[in-house]
Structure 1
Amino acid sequence: MTDTAPQPIDLDALPEEDDHDEALTTFRARVGAFELHWSVDAPLSVVMTSSSHVGRAGVGLIEVLTSAEQRGRTSQAYWRSAVGERLRVQGSHITSDGGAERAVIVQTDAVSGLEVRSTVTAPRGTTALRIESVVRNAGREPVVLTAVSSATIGIGRSSSDLDRVTWGSAASEWLAEDRWRETPVRELLPDISLPFHGQDGRGHAGVTSHGAWSSGEHLPCGYLVRGDGEALAWQIETSAGWHADLSQTRNGGVLSLLGPTDLEHQFAHELLPGESFTAVPVAIAASAEARDGVIAGLTRYRRWLRRDVAGEALPVVYNDFMNTLMGQPTTEQLLPLIRGAAAAGAEVFCIDAGWFADPAIGDWWSTVGEWREATARFGEGGLRRVIDEIHRQGMSSGLWLEPEVVGVDSPAAARLPDEAFFQRFGRRVQEDRRYHLDFRHPAVRGHLDATVDHLVEEYGIRYLKLDYNINPGAGTERNATTAGDGLLAHTRAFQDWLVRVQQRHPSLRIENCSSGAMRADYALLSVTHLQSTSDQQDFLLYPPIAASAPASILPEQCGNWAYPSSEMSDDETAFTLVTGLSGRLYLSGFLEELRPAQRDRVAEAVALHKALRGELADATPFWPLGLPAWDAPTVCLGLRTGSGDLLFVWDRDAAPAAFTLPDVSGEVEVLFPAAPTDGSGWRLATTVAGLSVATSAGLGARVLKVRRG
């Protein structure tokens, strides 16, 4: 490890707007592909060294709003806070090791008494930064925080620099996840001649989360791309409230990334003298290679973030839910599914919801929370008989859990104290006949620890699918300044619980289902193994979800469902399997009922996935046709690997189609499905413009391998 002292900025390196007379008191520190700038008269800011577009000296990295002081200049945006403008660097420490370069910068505000300690980490092999800050009350009076920006970044150098910038963001909802859209910034922030007025703007544009579903309305990540290809991408790493804010100044734009806020999430946090608050971590990445380049940068960063997560064997998982048992498993139904999954080559068999519910109940929604097997559901031999059969067939066993909820009709609802649940205005929060647990309470952790220990030790469970099917709203006021404060504290306690569970049971693999990706953020994905990308049961609607998911989720974590059915044609069977192959193949369906040709196709897909999964863990995504629209007839995802490009192409139009995948060239091979013997199928040709594709009549999908020359 080496220490490097910050150096005074050279006169020649200063932007034109800087005061050269203060060169000896203006400092910079190199961290990866970025520089940290500060001076005696300006707070800490971040600038990308190779870009004139990403970062601007003088735009403070950290903004702090309190109940006593909000902005130093009136605005609706989250920048130029009164506290933030007064922050001054008091000390810094720069280190490097084999995995990352790291800077720790301490700033203080003499008026409020607040101290901000920011850790800026640049993982090696990436063009990304991770920014983590702790705010401490070093004064003598209590301070109430109402918003803390995790990172604030200048964009461009002049107002006109925004004219060619595009904002990429993704709407998301149950069954329609990851719907990316690119919008010119000038449609969000019109040119209002700020230099003429001699003032900065007061408006803003942005996206914000809703309640406890961090990705239930918008994804907690996005990007900005300029016309020449310079790009900045970001992600906010929290399962609680978050907000991304874009505003404009006389000198360009400002991107502010925040965790929960007072205005958007009913958040405030009181700091007594000596107390600290940890802001939500964020990551930013920069690239000169536009959208695909900057998302590749975030992809490499996400792998670095998960470097300590064990068990990356990427097993093929079969789950009995989707278009199959739908939460009503029985021994009679499960045994043939187990045999069918084993014959197809699955390595994990996960029994989904309902294993804990007496079938006489019917709708078990309001009864969850005990997490003990329903003996009446499984008859002689009980659940152990079913799980033993999974093990006899050579597969690991898994179960579904929804650990953060207790149904109003569950015995646990009466047994656990009121303090163990989310509360508002002195009463438990109820959402759709369910209460929400607070993982800060020891009784909650004890209850769930006992549950997991029992399942692992009694049944030999090695896989847990964790669901999250309610959104409890703003949060909990118990043991918190506000409801949003309580929600943030709960989500951090839940993440900590996940880590500790895996420390006790290192062979356990955890899926972050979250109602089909309603809480797919890297606070959770950094400590779990798989993310179900959707609950979408219509195989024709799944391709745009599967193709877009790697923009926000690592390819090796994208659990894409493939659910072949005996009612499907051979082409439809291949279609749903291509969806599964485009990430982590996640099987479902009554496989034992398939026609012989369909079973062969499933086995072919599983064998291909096993052959490719080693490369999946190093792949970076790209989109030759752009991130797909929801109703796009043709959808394409590319994954760059060490041996070439994998292309997953879906044609959803019944009529034959012809299109070109630009900038794709090399030797092309169809990996799946196997070429038809009658000579029909798709026609592929490499041209100067790219890969030319002509599809046959009817819907179809292919997995292609392009070996670059």
Structure 2
Amino acid sequence: MPGLLPVTSGPSRGGTLSGRGDGFSVRGGFSWGHCALRAEFAVAADGTPRLVGLDRPGGPRPVDPESALPLVELTALGHGSGWSGTRFTGTALGTRLKYRDHRTGRRGDWRWLHIELHDPDTGLTAFVELTSPDGLPVLRSRVRLRNDGIDPLALQSVSSLLLGGLPAPDTLDVLRARNDWLAECRWYTEPLRGTVADINGAVHGHASRAALVLAGRGSWPTDGHLPMGALAERGSGRTWLWQVESPAGWRWDLGESAHGTHLALNGPTDAEHQWRVGLGTGEEFTTVPGVLAVASGLDEAMGALTSYRRAVRRPHSDHNTLPVVFNDYMNTLMGDPTTEKLLPLIDAAAEAGAEFFCVDAGWYDDSADGGWWDGVGEWLPSTRRFPDGGIGVVLDRIRERGMVPGLWLEPEVVGVRSPLAAALPPDAFFQRDGIRLTEQGRHQLDLRHPAARAHLDTAIDRIVGEWGVGYLKLDYNIVIAPGTTAPGDLSPGAGLLGHAYAYLDWLSEVLDRHPHLVIENCASGGMRMDGATLAVTQLQSTSDQQDPLRYPPIAAAAPSAVPPEQGAVWAYPQPEYDDDLIQFTLGGALLGRIHLSGHLDRMTKHQLALVQYALVTYKSIRRDLARAVPFWPLGLPGWTDEWLALGMRSPDDRTTYLTVWRRGGHRELRLPIDHLADREVRVEILHPSSAPAGSVVRDEDGALRVTLPRTPGVLLVRLSST
């Protein structure tokens, strides 16, 4: 393992930032990191320690401390900002938190640095907790606050990660990703100056107050935008890529500061999310983590963030085996499962090569009027849908055909028509001003309440422990904003964050009891595609998109948010599709987690053979996907792009996979594959497996010339190098 970079301040505790009275003066700074990342710290004239450099070792020199930001910025009632504006910088408490101590260490493959700050006026102590995995240019930061004073504090915002001294806005482009239902992961680029105008600060004697602010809202943390962003320096390509790991509210902002640019990552705030937390004497609060990757280009940064996501998540065998899942919902049964409909579908899915079979919504619905929506909650099987032998007949058939049975649940909701709506205590549900919240015919459970938790534990232990279900698709189809004010909550945003963390704790306990269980996270597709949830669950739904021609930009961009072995991509071939469209919908899922659907039981032998070939191909490459990192030869896809491309490269670059889609435009495309430009490469078309619908030729400069004569068309290509 690479050694820890020397701490130039000497000992790991105290260093050169020494104290006198209530303040601290500077006799130097200190550095921390490893072979792939170096962080430099110094103290500004006001006595606040600051992160003055974050880059690869040997990168640009640290900036002047006055150009950087304090390590922590926060607001509390009675302790606001030093100036008015949309930015949470220049806060009163942030300028009073002085350096007191720092410690470094190592846990396994992770390096850590804790920096202790203190405000003598309020007695507030802040611990900046920084971690980084060996060999990755990625920094993870969170802030733990403790009230060591005698008066209570009501927090309104706390930063998770602050970085100033970045290049001037004139040189930077901002990348962010719109994330809407049926249209997830739509990245777009704009100049930072488009939002943060040049006001000629020298004339005014004041920095700009403008900021590019992005915030998530409600219980769908990725509704509207992914909690991610990036800065790219024009010319050099240097990239700063970040994510806020919040299962609820989040915010990031960019602004101009001291002739440079600053980045601030926050969890929920009072201004955007009605979030306030009270700290009595001795009480603590810890922020959601903020994560930042630094690299020479966007693909490199995305690769580092992908590796980080693998390092931080809960270990599970599913991440290495990548079994094929058949789900009966999409474009198939659509919430109307019965024994009669399922048995032939189960047989066909097994014949095609599926390894898991998930019965989706409706299996619990005994009504004849769509009660699967507002009657949910008890999670008992319908006798109307499964009349002879119950749902056990279906689950047994799945096992007999060599597959693992799965079921869909929406655990956090209780329908207004469910008996549980009256049986559970009122405080087990989200509420505001003492009134239980209702959204689209559902109530929202609060997983901090023991009765809500006990209800779900009983249901899961019955389904998994007694029925032998090995796969759960956990959906969430309502959004609650801004949250709940259960007894003890100071604000609805704080109640929402408390529930969100309780939900993740509950998931972890379920997996502790049932370690072989596989859990897919879904919220109307990708409305809960956040880093906190990805670290606990094994799979992530990427979309509910039902049009096979509109899925490619989602599938191509999904690895920007989800490692490929966790990103569930629908492939729903239908008997009425022609061969090209069957190959197209199958091919788009082969570099992710293939989620098969469609009426396979109605297909001809020829059509089913096309499905079988695709699954054989997938099974031959899936172990490589579990270690590969993504790249985009054409750049991140646009929603209406006629050609799209997604690549996966192995850590040693000996194996590269490339999916290319054509939805229109010219029949030929040139694709640069920069990391293989100087290598001897063998080119193979893996999909379509029989009678490929196109060709791939490698030019002398290493670029690929891809020909797809018909639309829609898709190719999966393997590039092998020595």
**Which of 28, 31, 43 is the matching residue for 1:29?**
31
- 1:387 is displaced (CA, Å) by 0.1
The yes-or-no answer on 1:445 pairing with 2:453 is: yes
Distance, in Å, in 2 between the alignment partners of 1:546 and 1:477 is 38
The yes-or-no answer on 1:650 pairing with 2:650 is: no
Between 465-474 and 56-65, report the one with greater CA deviation. 56-65
Give, as a single letter, the amino acid of the residue that structure 2 aligns with 1:199. H
Paired position in structure 1 for 2:105: 95
- 1:310 is displaced (CA, Å) by 4.8
Paired position in structure 1 for 2:695: 682
Q: Is the 8 A contact 1:47 1:56 kept in 2?
A: no
Distance, in Å, in 1 between the alignment partners of 2:365 and 2:669 is 51
The yes-or-no answer on 1:703 pairing with 2:711 is: no
Give, as a single letter, the amino acid of the residue that structure 2 aligns with 1:171. R
Q: How does 1:235-384 map to 2 (within 5 A)?
A: 235-288=243-296, 290-306=297-313, 308-312=315-319, 313-384=321-392
- 1:125 is displaced (CA, Å) by 2.2
Instruction: Report the CA distance shift for 1:100/1:46 in structure 2 as closer, same or farther (over 3 A).
Output: farther
Paired position in structure 2 for 1:8: 9
Give, as a single letter, the amino acid of the residue that structure 1 aligns with 2:145. V
Instruction: Report the CA distance shift for 1:504/1:307 in structure 2 as closer, same or farther (over 3 A).
Output: closer
Give, as a single letter, the amino acid of the residue that structure 2 aligns with 1:645. T
- 1:309 is displaced (CA, Å) by 3.9
Q: Is the 8 A contact 1:222 1:235 kept in 2?
A: yes
The yes-or-no answer on 1:42 pairing with 2:57 is: no
- 1:629 is displaced (CA, Å) by 0.7
**Which of 135, 151, 171 is the matching residue for 1:141?**
151
Instruction: Report the CA distance shift for 1:401/1:107 in structure 2 as closer, same or farther (over 3 A).
Output: same
Paired position in structure 1 for 2:204: 197
- 1:46 is displaced (CA, Å) by 5.4
Instruction: Report the CA distance shift for 1:4/1:560 in structure 2 as closer, same or farther (over 3 A).
Output: closer
Distance, in Å, in 2 between the alignment partners of 1:151 and 1:328 is 47
Give, as a single letter, the amino acid of the residue that structure 2 aligns with 1:31. G
- 1:191 is displaced (CA, Å) by 1.7
Give, as a single letter, the amino acid of the residue that structure 2 aligns with 1:8. S
Q: Secondary structure of the residue that 1:89 maps to in structure 2?
A: strand
Distance, in Å, in 2 between the alignment partners of 1:354 and 1:132 is 41
Give the TM-score normalised by the residue count of structure 2. Answer: 0.92
Q: Is the 8 A contact 1:520 1:531 kept in 2?
A: yes
- 1:652 is displaced (CA, Å) by 0.6
Distance, in Å, in 2 between the alignment partners of 1:180 and 1:559 is 19
Give, as a single letter, the amino acid of the residue that structure 1 aligns with 2:401. Q
Q: CA offsets per residue over residues 224-272 of structure 1, 9 Å max, x none?
A: 1112021111111111100011111133111111000111111111111
Q: Is the 8 A contact 1:670 1:702 kept in 2?
A: yes
**Which of 173, 179, 184 is the matching residue for 1:177?**
184
Q: Is the 8 A contact 2:431 2:484 kept in 1?
A: yes
Q: Secondary structure of the residue that 2:174 maps to in structure 1?
A: strand
Q: CA offsets per residue over residues 93-123 of structure 1, 9 Å max, x none?
A: 1012441111111111122221111211110
Paired position in structure 2 for 1:669: 684
- 1:366 is displaced (CA, Å) by 0.8
Distance, in Å, in 2 between the alignment partners of 1:536 and 1:449 is 31
Q: CA offsets per residue over residues 24-43 of structure 1, 9 Å max, x none?
A: 53321312313241338222
Give, as a single letter, the amino acid of the residue that structure 1 aligns with 2:481. G
Instruction: Report the CA distance shift for 1:4/1:615 in structure 2 as closer, same or farther (over 3 A).
Output: closer
Instruction: Report the CA distance shift for 1:381/1:286 in structure 2 as closer, same or farther (over 3 A).
Output: same
**Which of 205, 218, 223 is the matching residue for 2:230?**
223
Q: CA offsets per residue over residues 375-401 of structure 1, 9 Å max, x none?
A: 121010110010000000011111001
Q: CA offsets per residue over residues 439-484 of structure 1, 9 Å max, x none?
A: 0000010000000000012210111000010001100011311000
Distance, in Å, in 2 between the alignment partners of 1:698 and 1:551 is 26
**Which of 614, 628, 632 is the matching residue for 2:641?**
632
Q: Is the 8 A contact 2:55 2:137 kept in 1?
A: no
Distance, in Å, in 1 between the alignment partners of 2:328 and 2:55 is 51
Q: How does 1:391-470 map to 2 (within 5 A)?
A: 391-470=399-478
**Which of 564, 567, 572 is the matching residue for 1:558?**
567
Q: CA offsets per residue over residues 476-518 of structure 1, 9 Å max, x none?
A: 0113110000000000000000000000111111000111010
Paired position in structure 2 for 1:487: 496
Q: Secondary structure of the residue that 2:94 maps to in structure 1?
A: helix
- 1:596 is displaced (CA, Å) by 1.9
Q: How does 1:60-79 map to 2 (within 5 A)?
A: 60-79=70-89
Q: How does 1:512-531 map to 2 (within 5 A)?
A: 512-531=521-540
Give, as a single letter, the amino acid of the residue that structure 1 aligns with 2:49. P
Q: CA offsets per residue over residues 118-175 of structure 1, 9 Å max, x none?
A: 2111101211011122111111111110000111111425xxx221211110001110
Instruction: Report the CA distance shift for 1:103/1:448 in structure 2 as closer, same or farther (over 3 A).
Output: same
Q: How does 1:602-641 map to 2 (within 5 A)?
A: 602-641=611-650
Paired position in structure 2 for 1:477: 485
Q: Secondary structure of the residue that 1:295 maps to in structure 2?
A: helix
Distance, in Å, in 1 between the alignment partners of 2:204 and 2:289 is 36
Between 484-493 and 355-364, report the one with greater CA deviation. 355-364
Distance, in Å, in 2 between the alignment partners of 1:119 and 1:372 is 45
Q: Is the 8 A contact 2:6 2:32 kept in 1?
A: no
Paired position in structure 1 for 2:599: 590
Distance, in Å, in 1 between the alignment partners of 2:233 and 2:6 is 34
Paired position in structure 2 for 1:105: 115
Q: Secondary structure of the residue that 1:706 maps to in structure 2?
A: strand
Give, as a single letter, the amino acid of the residue that structure 2 aligns with 1:34. R
Instruction: Report the CA distance shift for 1:146/1:640 in structure 2 as closer, same or farther (over 3 A).
Output: same
Distance, in Å, in 1 between the alignment partners of 2:515 and 2:108 is 26
Instruction: Report the CA distance shift for 1:315/1:151 in structure 2 as closer, same or farther (over 3 A).
Output: same
Q: Secondary structure of the residue that 1:604 maps to in structure 2?
A: helix
Q: CA offsets per residue over residues 166-213 of structure 1, 9 Å max, x none?
A: 111000111000100011111121222223433221111121102111
Q: Is the 8 A contact 1:79 1:152 kept in 2?
A: no
Distance, in Å, in 1 between the alignment partners of 2:595 and 2:559 is 15
Give, as a single letter, the amino acid of the residue that structure 1 aligns with 2:683. V
Paired position in structure 1 for 2:20: none
Q: CA offsets per residue over residues 299-344 of structure 1, 9 Å max, x none?
A: 1110100153454321111100000000110000000111111111
Q: Secondary structure of the residue that 2:101 maps to in structure 1?
A: strand
Give, as a single letter, the amino acid of the residue that structure 1 aligns with 2:223. G
Q: Please, which runs of 5 or more residues in structure 2 have no aligned partner?
A: 11-15, 17-23
Q: Secondary structure of the residue that 1:341 maps to in structure 2?
A: helix
Give the CA RMSD over aligned residues. Answer: 2.2
Q: Secondary structure of the residue that 2:32 maps to in structure 1?
A: strand
Paired position in structure 2 for 1:19: none
Q: Is the 8 A contact 1:238 1:523 kept in 2?
A: yes
Q: Secondary structure of the residue that 1:523 maps to in structure 2?
A: helix
The yes-or-no answer on 1:209 pairing with 2:216 is: yes
- 1:657 is displaced (CA, Å) by 4.0
The yes-or-no answer on 1:693 pairing with 2:671 is: no
Distance, in Å, in 2 between the alignment partners of 1:327 and 1:155 is 53
Distance, in Å, in 2 between the alignment partners of 1:242 and 1:618 is 29
Give, as a single letter, the amino acid of the residue that structure 2 aligns with 1:35. A
Give, as a single letter, the amino acid of the residue that structure 2 aligns with 1:551. S
